Amino acid sequence: MWRVNHQGQKEFLGGNNDCQGAAQAAEACLNFTPDDEDEQVANEQVSCYNCRYRRWGKETFVCCK
Amino acid sequence: MRILICIDDTDDLESVGTGELAEMLAATINNRGWGKTYGVTRHQLLVHPDIPYTSHNSSMCFEADMDEQQVKQFIDYAAEFLGSKSAPGSDPGLCVAILDQIASLENLVDFGRKAKIAVLAKDDAYELARELGIHLSEHGGTGQGVIGALAGVGLRITGNDGRFKGKVYMNTTDGLASVREIRGHTKVDMVRSLGGKVLEDHETVLIEEALKFVLLDGKSVLLVRPHEDMVKESLWRPCSKQQLKVY
């Protein structure tokens, strides 16, 4: 589900559209914290896509925790 | 006078978001009697490794009706506000544009559109703001937020970019509401399908959760999709968060 990219960041392998994977990852994460409602993009409440500690890139996001 | 106000790059991962600061600025305008404000919209800009955004690179813009003297007062207030309320290490920018004094709306809109697809420079933003007669200022850090602040005004002017901040809760007895009821209970201008069909007042929308509006054709719009079951003719449901993320 994750890889360490060339900058040493934890990068999500599912890209920008793996809602199920992002939800599963967030369910298993102790650091999940919902971002402002305006920045949430996944239908699942608990999802890395809705977490304030994700930083979006062009293809996917990196986890900042 | 119609004024557009946009801020960007005020937050970090732990702080209050830029949208909340925009709402606080709007509330100050209303509470101090400086003018009347309209909804805050979120505008997505390019995500790129060369852009030092916090997590999503979006700017927040709102419209206000104010006279010129109050605009000056507001700019002084907003400068101090952003200086003190922005997160340490952020690079806040403020743009305040008086709509009928902008020398070229087309150039401003172009800048906004470019900021969605290209990496732009701070100097370009300042140069354009000077040419167009728009207030643009930085209030900490590198001041890089001036790019998004100027771009956000350009995008808001298009009338076709961004989601309105916040959600609207609507009580129903049976989970259904007519378009007429939705328009009566919220500030939405129009209920429209993803395909562009404007719903008529008698059509029905399933209300399962709070409603989120987008900016389309200069209006606040509730986007809907056909209800899968179609148990009732003309039954619709609001688009999901995932569907709205492209706005």
pLDDT of res. B227: 83
Cα–Cα distance between B166 and B20 in angstroms, integer? 10
Q: Residue A45: list chain B partners with CB under 8 A.
A: none
Cβ separation A39–B17 shorter than 8 A: yes
3-state secondary structure of A58: coil
Write the pLDDT tens digit of every residue in B161-192. Answer: 999 999 999 999 899 999 999 999 999 999 99
Q: Residue B13: list chain A partners with CB under 8 A.
A: 52-53, 64
Interface check A4 vs B, CB under 8 A: no
Cβ separation B58–A39 shorter than 8 A: yes
Provide the mean pLDDT of chain B: 95
B233 has pLDDT over 70? no
**H helices present in B120-231, as ranges:** 122-132, 145-158, 179-185
For chain A, 65 residues long, give each residue's pLDDT as a single digit of tens: 999 999 999 999 999 999 999 999 999 999 999 999 999 999 999 999 999 999 999 999 999 99
Predicted model pTM: 0.95
Write the pLDDT tens digit of every residue in B17-56. Answer: 999 999 999 999 999 999 999 999 999 999 998 998 888 9
Cα–Cα distance between A33 and B163 in angstroms, integer? 22
Interface check A44 vs B, CB under 8 A: no
pLDDT of res. B232: 60
Interface check B55 vs A, CB under 8 A: yes
Interface check A38 vs B, CB under 8 A: yes
Chain B nearest-CA residue for A47 = B242
What is the average per-residue pLDDT within B220-229? 90
Classify each residue of B103-142 as buried b or exposed e, where b means 16 or more C-beta atoms within 10 Å of its C-beta.
eeeeebbebbebbbeeebebeebbebbeebebbbbbbbbe
pLDDT of res. B234: 72
Of B20, B54, B241, the CB nearest to A40: B241
Range of the domain at A13: 2-63
Interface check B33 vs A, CB under 8 A: no
The distance of Cα B119 from the centroid of its chain, to the nearest Å, equals: 21
Q: Residue A35: list chain B partners with CB under 8 A.
A: 17, 55
B229 has pLDDT over 80? no
Mutate to test the interface with A, among B56, B116, B117, B247 (most CBs of A within 10 A): B56
Using 50, 70 and 90 to split pLDDT, how confident is the model at B220? very high
Write the pLDDT tens digit of every residue in B78-90. Answer: 999 999 999 999 9
Cα–Cα distance between B8 and B59 in angstroms, integer? 5
Q: Which residues contact B224 (CB under 8 A, 6 or more apart)?
A: B191, B192, B193, B194, B199, B205, B236, B237, B238, B239
Cβ separation A37–B245 shorter than 8 A: no
pLDDT of res. B88: 93
B231 has pLDDT over 70? no
Cα–Cα distance between B242 and A16 in angstroms, integer? 11
Min Cα–Cα distance to chain B from A64, Å: 9
pLDDT of res. B228: 75
Using 50, 70 and 90 to split pLDDT, how confident is the model at B125? very high
Q: Residue B244: list chain A partners with CB under 8 A.
A: 41
Q: Residue B167: list chain A partners with CB under 8 A.
A: 37
What is the average per-residue pLDDT within B181-209? 95
Interface check A11 vs B, CB under 8 A: no
What is the average per-residue pLDDT within B199-227? 95
Per-window interface: B 10-29 vs A, CB < 8 A? 13, 17, 19-20
Write the pLDDT tens digit of every residue in B57-77. Answer: 999 999 999 999 999 999 999
Q: Residue A52: list chain B partners with CB under 8 A.
A: 13, 55
User: Is the complex ipTM more than 0.85?
Assistant: yes
What is the tally of structural domains in chain A? 1
Q: Residue B49: list chain A partners with CB under 8 A.
A: 57
